[in-house]
A and B are shown apart, each in its own frame.
Chain A
Amino acid sequence: MQTGFRQQSLWPVKISSVEEISPGAFLLSFPRNFSFSAGQVLKIALGEKEVPRMYSICSGENDPEITILFNVKPEGSLTPQLSHCKPGDTLFISLPLGSFTGDDQPAWLIATGTGLAPFYSMLRSGLVNGKQLIHGVRYLNQFYFEYELTRMLGQRYIKCCSAEHHDKVFAGRVTDYLRQLVELPSGIKYYLCGNGLMVVEVRDLLIERGVPFNNIISEIYF
């Protein structure tokens, strides 16, 4: 698979839909005409010459469309514009790249916010067995794909919300949730995805609780 990083390696696709699924969070889709491994990212720009940003592919390996899940950064250069795109608009994308890819071994998947995207892709691609998903958000309406994830994982889907309360949701951050567990499985892999501080805090906590550092794989949305 080609993984070149030069900006010339972007090519145009036509957007098929842009949908706001929660305040400030959007799903953007376009037809898939390449294969990828769940967990990979795409570089995306609105112009061929613009500096692209990276987004995890959120859809499954066999879905007919590629979907990304993004948050609008109000001062950002790309996401406010992306959120205003319409079906038929042109987007420039790279080939899929990156190696934050999962396998069929048991693992805990820990994400905050849109860091859920690569895990959703892995789960949709069939990597469900032995997986436990822990998703941390600020507000209850940020549990993207809640219905489908509950259906796929049942009790192995743990929701943590730091700013709002609900019966079936752990009240607190992902780190609070992990801290109150009596034991953590040690022979499995832990995949972490989200912003740098969350990744560092969760990683430190896992290591402190006896998880070997070489069982922890992280992707940071820098």
Chain B
Amino acid sequence: MRGILMKQPLFGKTLEELKVVVSHLGLPGFTAGQIAGWLYNKQVGTFDEMTNLSKKARFLLNEQFSMGVSQPVKVQVSSDGTKKYLFGTESGKFIETAMIPEEERITVCVSSQVGCKMGCLFCMTGKQGFQGQLSAGEIVNQIRSIEEAGQISNVVYMGMGEPFDNLPEVLKSLEILTASWGYAMSPRRITVSTIGIIPGMITFLEQSEAHLAVSLHTPFDEERKMLMPVQVAYPIGEVVREIRKWDFSHQRRVSFEYIVFGDLNDSERHIRELARLLNGLSCRINLIRFHPIPGTPLQAASDESLYRFKERLNEKGILTTIRASRGQDIYAACGLLSTRELLKKEQQ
């Protein structure tokens, strides 16, 4: 049993890492590309299915590695077709993956960490605290092991965790998703969302072509500090200043996520300050309805104020859309399902 536990997973390794593996095993160099094909293209579940590998290669892989893929432990299906998958992690905790079907596309929202350190006031995941990092394999497994695998058109890193607090594994997962030897997805179909961890954001912008989304939620320093503790270290003004150094006027996009809270961040003052903050930047604001989490002091805004806020921002020249609320009957907030599952396990 101990030997099995100590086997390293192969799923989640980049081509470079697979080359190191095959070299250590004394296998021909081209085996690395073959393995990558089986792992990410043909999506097999065992080494024995990798039929173009030599018997020796399959034997050595079986002996020294695990596949590293895992199936969801629970699935919830919403009346609108949205699904929430719950995956177990090696540490005995849970992560959530959402699948959102739309007319012409299927978007999967992946988690990048187990829990989160950032403590945003409006977030259920934050209440779990930080439980651990996900490996690149565990991130990519969320699009590999759901029922819709193979039909996914878009991936958003907006599930549990702050992607730039797990930068090396997130970058590796992006490489696997976009490389020709991997899933060969266009980076333009992938969006990574951050609360604004500036050093990680800079490295991401340098090393990946994927879209960037930034959680803004209010343009005012003092107000953002109450909502998002990260503001004291990485103020949104500095985040936007850094973003301005990059070109988002062509294929790559930057968007700002803005949860609209009732009587808090939807005033005319906020509109003016947002217009000032984002002035001249080629970007979009996505307004999000707030679904109150247990014990929150924050309220949801009315539909009326949401639409008015959107209109006013558009009038100010900031392209603004309202994100459709999906799957409300199965999860009001990301982190709710895994928290429940965690509590259930603790009680047992």
Contact = CB atoms under 8 A, between A and B. Distances in A.
A170 interface: no
A51 to B, nearest CB: 6
B232 A99 contact: yes
Contacts of A222: 117-118, 130, 162, 165, 230
B107 to A, nearest CB: 28
Interface stretch (B15-23, B37-45, B121-129, B173-181): B121-129
A175 interface: no
A199 interface: yes
Contact of A5 (B130, B198, B225, B297): B198
A222 B129 CA distance: 11
Contacts of B126: 196, 200
B199 interface: yes
A213 B297 contact: yes
Contacts of B12: none
A91 interface: no
Interface string B213-237: 0000000010101100111111100
A21 interface: no
B232 A98 contact: yes
B199 A213 contact: no
B3 interface: no
B268 interface: no
A222 to B, nearest CB: 4
B95 interface: no
Contacts of B127: 200, 204
Interface in B302-336: none
Interface string B108-123: 0000000011110100
B238 interface: yes
A64 B235 CA distance: 29
A7 interface: yes
A100 interface: yes
Contacts of B231: 99
A220 B221 contact: no
Contact of B117 (A52, A97, A195, A213): A195
A54 B197 CA distance: 12
A5 B121 contact: no
Contacts of A217: 225-226, 232
A37 to B, nearest CB: 12
B121 A213 contact: yes
Report whether over half of chain A's contact residues are helix, strand or loop; otherwise say mixed: mixed
A3 B238 contact: yes
Contacts of B238: 3, 5
A182 interface: no
Interface string B154-189: 000000001001000000000000000000000000
B92 interface: no
A199 B162 CA distance: 17
Contacts of B49: none
Interface in A166-222: 195-197, 199-200, 203-204, 207-208, 212-214, 216-220, 222
B242 interface: yes
Contacts of B230: 220, 222
Interface centre among A196, A203, A219 (most CB of B within 10 A): A196
B26 interface: no
A110 interface: no
A200 B295 contact: no
A203 B121 contact: yes
B235 A99 contact: yes
B295 A208 contact: yes
A7 B199 contact: yes
Interface centre among A5, A51, A213, A214 (most CB of B within 10 A): A5
A160 interface: no
B199 A196 contact: no
Nearest to A52: B199
B117 A220 contact: yes
B297 A200 contact: no
Nearest to A5: B198
Contact of B229 (A54, A97, A197, A218): A218
A51 B165 CA distance: 13
B119 A199 contact: yes
A5 B129 contact: no
Contact of A41 (B117, B129, B233): B233
B295 A99 contact: no
27 contacts: A3-B235, A5-B199, A5-B202, A98-B232, A195-B129, A195-B130, A196-B116, A196-B119, A197-B129, A197-B130, A199-B119, A200-B127, A203-B119, A204-B127, A207-B297, A212-B297, A213-B226, A213-B298, A216-B226, A217-B225, A218-B119, A219-B229, A219-B233, A220-B118, A220-B230, A222-B118, A222-B165
Given A197-B130, A207-B297, A222-B230, 13 more contacts: A5-B199, A99-B231, A100-B232, A100-B233, A195-B130, A196-B129, A200-B126, A212-B297, A214-B223, A214-B226, A218-B119, A219-B232, A220-B117
Interface of B: 116-119, 121, 126-127, 129-130, 162, 165, 198-199, 202, 221, 223, 225-226, 229-235, 238, 242, 295, 297-298
